[in-house]
Amino acid sequence: MKTEGRNAVLELLKTEKNIEKIMLEKNPQGSLNKIFAEARKANIRVQFVDRRVLDKESVTGKHQGVIAFASDYEYSNLDEIIASKSEKGGFIILCDGIEDVHNLGSIIRVAECAGANGVIIPSTNSASVTEAVIRISAGAANHMKVAKVNSINRAIDILKDNGYWLYALEADGTDIYKADLSGNVALVIGGEDSGVKRLTREKCDYTLSLPLKGKVNSLNASVALGIAAYEVLKTRL
């Protein structure tokens, strides 16, 4: 799998993933020099190439002068994510029909920054963790546990059995600022067009909403999640 972009590659170098080689633009400047230094420390092969070679290798078209070649992305499983909860409780994010790679990348970035234990995505009708998602997440996908499951609803049942409260984020729920988000919390975020599916929403314990005071009646999925995730984080500080 290719990881592109300066921040994404720097984050990749902080992990224990197997990096086969890194392609760097000739005469590196700025943070590219830092990437080169970190790669040398880790005994990773660095190949200096013309920009047109990077352009040809790039999947995203936004390589910023560097592409790392690593093993394919390794998904976690739900049990691993559940087991990684902290003493103040677990925090998991479930994506119900997030098909846009930009949204998934942003959601993973929010999850990592807010201290979530993992992100769960369905194996069908969903974006997967690709080179583009890793770049959009600014490398956060290299640190965040992501599990693919056959059924989001089945995952909800398993989480409930493990003591989690499930909260769907939708427009017509209880004001999130009045909710108790301590303990084991799982937030469910739906796709931009469809939202959280009806059966999935019915399986959740509560539906939470963000108050909207402007003329636009909705927020981007990753933005809404970001606000909700930091409400969860507040209970853990």
What CATH number has the domain bearing residue 22? 3.30.1330.30
Among 16, 35, 70, where does a domain finish? 70
Alpha-carbon distance 4 to 184, whole Å?
35
Model confidence over 55-90: pLDDT tens digits? 999 988 899 999 999 988 899 999 999 999 988 899
Q: Where do we find the tokens 């770049």? A: 135
Write down how long the chain is: 237
Contact criterion met (CB below 8 Å) for 224 and 189 = yes
Q: What pLDDT, in 10s, does the model give residues 166-203? A: 999 998 899 999 999 999 999 999 987 788 999 999 99
The total number of structural domains in the chain stands at: 2
Q: Interior CA angle at 83 toward 9 and 152, to 5°?
A: 80
Distances (CA, A) of 188 to 7, 69, 179, 224: 28, 33, 15, 11
Place of tokens 């997967």: 128
Which structure tokens are listed for 151?
């059924």
Domain that holds residue 6: 2-70
Cα 121 to its chain centre, rounded Å, is 10
Q: Based on the domain organization, do 44 and 89 belong to the same domain?
A: no
The token pair that represents 139 in the structure block: 């490398």
This prediction has a pTM of 0.85
| Final residue before a domain boundary, out of 11, 44, 70 | 70
